[in-house]
Amino acid sequence: MGRIFAIMSGKGGVGKSTLAAALAEYYARSGKRVALLDGDTGLRCVDLMLDLQNRVVYDLGDLAEKTCSMEQAMVSPPGLPNLRLLAAPQLMKPSDLKSKDMGRIITQLADQMDVLLLDAPAGIGRGLKNLLGAAAEPVVVATADDISVRDAERLGAVLSQREEPHPGIVFNRVSRKLIRRGEMTPPDRLALALDMPLMGILPESERVYRALLRHQTALHCGDPAVESEIENIGRRLLGQDVALPSYAPSAMLRFFAKRGESL
């Protein structure tokens, strides 16, 4: 059975699906057999990120209802036959899908693939709970603001209550300038406060949004710092020891912070 990673977030708009699509492409280009399951019932978007919106005929809902085969439901981007997308249904509600059907589909995919990425819906509702209990390793995506951090903490509590594996966390849209000025908390401190291993730090970059407008993943955004860190996140998730980028307040801020502690 392949590795299963559930990419999730406490709130929407933090870049969860963007990371899931980019990781799927990275693993596929590394030679692995990869499946990406879009679990955001009614609000699918990964097909657009992979430029597959015109090729989806069947989806997760059809597969759950057994009106198509697994092979019919999966689509691949041109030139990446070892990356398979299973799109979310657009005309169903999360409550229309049963956890046992999701478990059956996830198990079947994991048996066929080296890596299975579950793009979970944001929040802690029924859609997320449909994907839990599938032996997936949770990866929480958040931004370094109080609202997102609070929601990530709540999501971590839900995972703990359901006895899911302990999640790692990736912080997105991190500004080195704001951290140096002391306006943004460094990601390593936030991860420590949340008691979640820090798996990656993606910098703020307008090139990521421009890539999405071109229906390309962030792996092709043209920002070397973003592209490199996506690859490093992929390596860390597989257990490789890859150093994290350094984000810290300026030396002057650290100096005055130490003086304040000593007074």
Q: What is the pLDDT of residue 131?
A: 75
Chunked into runs of 10 residues, the chain (263 residues) has average pLDDT values of 91 92 96 93 86 92 91 93 92 79 90 94 76 82 96 94 93 95 94 97 95 92 96 97 86 49 46
What amino acid occupies position 33? R
Q: Quick one: DSSP state of residue 118?
A: E
CA angle 46, 155, 193 (to 5 degrees): 115
Q: What is the pLDDT of residue 250?
A: 63
Would you say the pTM of this structure is higher than 0.85?
Answer: yes
Contact 221, 207 (CB under 8 A): yes
Q: Are 148 and 16 in contact (CB under 8 A)?
A: no
pLDDT of residue 263: 42
Q: What is the residue whose two structure tokens read 């699906």?
A: 17
> Of the candidates 59, 70, 67, 76, which has an alpha carbon nearest to the alpha carbon of residue 105?
70
Both ends of the chain: CA-CA distance in Å? 57
Strands 3-8 and 115-119 come out as parallel
CATH number of the domain at 3-262, out of 3.40.50.300, 3.40.50.12370, 3.90.550.10, 3.40.50.880? 3.40.50.300
User: What span, in angstroms and rounded, lies between the C-alpha atoms of 252 and 250?
Assistant: 5
Q: What is the pLDDT of residue 255?
A: 45
Q: For residues 131 and 139, give the distance between their C-alpha atoms in angstroms, rounded to a whole number.
A: 13
Q: Per residue in 49-85, pLDDT tens? A: 999 999 999 999 999 999 999 999 999 998 899 999 9
Q: What is the largest CA-CA distance in the chain?
A: 70
- DSSP letters, 146-202, are HHHHHHHHHHHHHHHHTTPPPPEEEEEEE-HHHHHTTSS--HHHHHHHHT--EEEEE
